Amino acid sequence: MKVLGTNGQYTYFVELPASEFEQLQGSYGYHGQVNSSNIGKTIPVSDMYDAITSLKRAKDELPSIANKLRALADLLEPIQSEIPLEVKESDIAKEDW
């Protein structure tokens, strides 16, 4: 993306290849056609950036979460034979519904 200019009030004018524009729209690869119906379209780039940043943070937290899940699994493993695999409707009191 190339910055072409600004109006001096929080707005930038940019030029970007069609392939990058396709990716901003959620496409995966340039299809060789420029769609003129995209002119004037607003693309929520900030929202996309926030989502990617959030995923990156979550990725950094995954090892810690995995360790907690392993610890919980270790706690549940000894009692798993005590947990019925199938619960029949007759086993549940109607007032529980």
Domain encompassing residue 4? 1-28
Position 93 in a domain: no
Shortest CA distance to 25 belongs to which of 37, 14, 13?
A: 37
Residues 48 and 77 in one domain: yes
Q: Tell whether 51 and 77 lie within a shared domain.
A: yes
Q: How many structural domains does the chain have? A: 2
Q: Could you tell me if 24 and 48 lie in one domain?
A: no
Same-domain pairing of 50 and 21: no
Tokens of 47: 């929202």
84 pLDDT above the threshold of 80: no
Full-model pTM: 0.46
pLDDT in tens, 22-65: 877 776 655 666 667 778 888 888 888 898 888 888 888 889 99
